Amino acid sequence: MSLEDIVSVTITAQTTTPSRLGFGVPLIARVHNVFASVVRYFANLTEMTDAGFPSGDPAVLIATAIFSQNPKPNSVGVGKRSNAFTQTVQLGFKNTTEDYVYEFDIVVVDIVGGTTTTSISYTNGAAETPITIGAAIHLLVTAVSGITSTDNLDGTIDVETDTDGDLVNYVGFDEPDNFTLEDITADPGIAADLTAIETVDPDGWYALVLDSNSHAEIDATAAWIEARKKLFLTNTTDTECVDIAVTDDVMSGLQAAAYARTAIIYSQAELLSWSGAAWAGNRLPSDPGSSTWAYKTLAGVTVDGNLTGGQASVIESKGGNHYTRVAGVNITRYGITASGEYIDITRFIDWLDARIKERIFGVLINNAKIPYTDGGVDLMRAQVQAQLQQGIVAGGLAADPAPTVTAPKVADIDTADKANRILPDIEFQATLAGAIHKLVISGVLSV
């Protein structure tokens, strides 16, 4: 005789869990011909170069901005942009003072990862006008291989890449009082590319960054992301963003649309700063609700040292962010999306939404059934309560006042809902913990 003849035990493991949506992985949308896969993930830069990306490819450069942060994400995705852009940047020249020197570098990054740098320098002569300056700098830019310059005969020039998918970085411009810059690259169909990426991999990534961040591409991407529970982090060097008189710049457009899932940061120092990607890389490793996106130092990103207080205020008024130096420390400001909502709030709400759904679904699939009784209803209510408690632990919700969850009595539920096995009207109230970004202190000293 065995023990089994006396005591029979059957153990069923109720360990099935739904897949959990991740909130710590960024995805780079990049034009490339390295591999056919729509999406691939990489744990480090070596894996990217081993896969075939040249070390100078923008995908690697963006990933470098992400992985250079501390803390940093465990992995980064690369989503394939099939519709290649033709980068076009418009440069304008405002300072006509004699002997003023326009100096900047043009860095051409081609689709196969090659990089060439050309320094442009032009000293104003006597009686200059924006038109004469534009004509002179146009001739200098025309000599640069890989790009084509067009003199618009109005003090501006349009610089276009000769090969689709190539990118040009503009580095070293002086403050916007002296020049204008606008990335006028047309949208080649970014929404279709993002939809293709989402079809293959809807849940593996949370924050989106782009290789090319023109006004048109940002607008199209912001509209696409707003319908998803994800974030879009982008950057711009368009000088119209710091001009209070301009209302049709990229920041103003995003603000007018009240996009709560797009955060844009101004980068005066260079066009291809990919500061939005660095910002995502710096914050995504933190648990949703545990940190704000303001006052963060971004490794590898050049601070906007020439940005004036007035220009910073214009950026804030347009729902934008910037990277500045305060008391010797480089910090991000203001940690907001274009709608004015704080990025950490949007991310925490997405996390709470996903985790409540996952928790409820986990109970449903691990039980033979949940009876439509007051006890069954209370079991569902308790799942919501438990997740709100986790929200307090994460730092996104306040413990006082404590969150409350209410559910109806079965006797009060409409018979049609009961017949259709629908449990309505579970409701909760909770208070966001928020964060302190600014202090007002007053005091009195006496003798």
pLDDT digits (tens, 9 = 90+) for 322-371: 999 999 999 999 999 999 999 999 999 999 999 999 999 999 999 999 99
Cα–Cα distance for residue pair 239/249, rounded to 1 Å: 9
What phi and psi, each to the nearest 5 degrees, are found at residue 132? -70, -35
* pLDDT score at 9: 41
Amino acid at 205: W
Three-state SS at 336: strand
* pLDDT score at 20: 55
Verdict on whether the full-model pTM lies above 0.75: yes
Cα–Cα distance for residue pair 216/186, rounded to 1 Å: 6
pLDDT tens-place values along the chain, 447 residues long? 554 543 534 444 444 444 456 789 999 999 999 999 999 999 999 999 999 999 999 999 999 999 999 999 999 999 999 999 999 999 999 999 999 999 999 999 987 767 899 999 999 999 999 999 999 999 999 999 999 999 999 999 999 999 999 999 999 887 788 999 999 999 999 999 999 999 999 999 999 999 999 999 999 999 999 999 999 999 999 999 999 999 999 999 999 999 999 999 999 989 999 999 999 999 999 999 999 999 999 999 999 888 899 999 999 999 999 999 999 999 999 999 999 999 999 999 999 999 999 999 999 999 999 999 999 999 999 999 999 999 999 999 999 999 999 999 999 999 999 999 999 999 999 999 998 888 888 788 888
b/e per residue 13-27 (b: at least 16 CB within 10 A): eeeeeeeebebbbbb
Q: Residue 269: which H helix or E strand, with range?
A: none
Q: Are 242 and 62 in contact (CB under 8 A)?
A: no
User: CA-CA distances (angstroms) from residue 15 to 363, 369, 384?
Assistant: 10, 16, 19
Cα–Cα distance for residue pair 335/332, rounded to 1 Å: 7
Cα–Cα distance for residue pair 428/390, rounded to 1 Å: 14
What is the phi-psi region of residue 315: left when phi exceeds 0, alpha when psi lies from -120 to 50, beta otherwise?
alpha
**What is the sign of the dihedral through the CA atoms of 338, 273, 165 and 204?**
negative
Residue given tokens 């274009």 in the structure block: 338
Q: Are 258 and 338 in contact (CB under 8 A)?
A: yes
* pLDDT score at 2: 52
Task: Fill in the DSSP letter of residue 240.
Answer: G
User: CA-CA distances (angstroms) from residue 145 to 80, 118, 157, 192?
Assistant: 27, 9, 16, 31
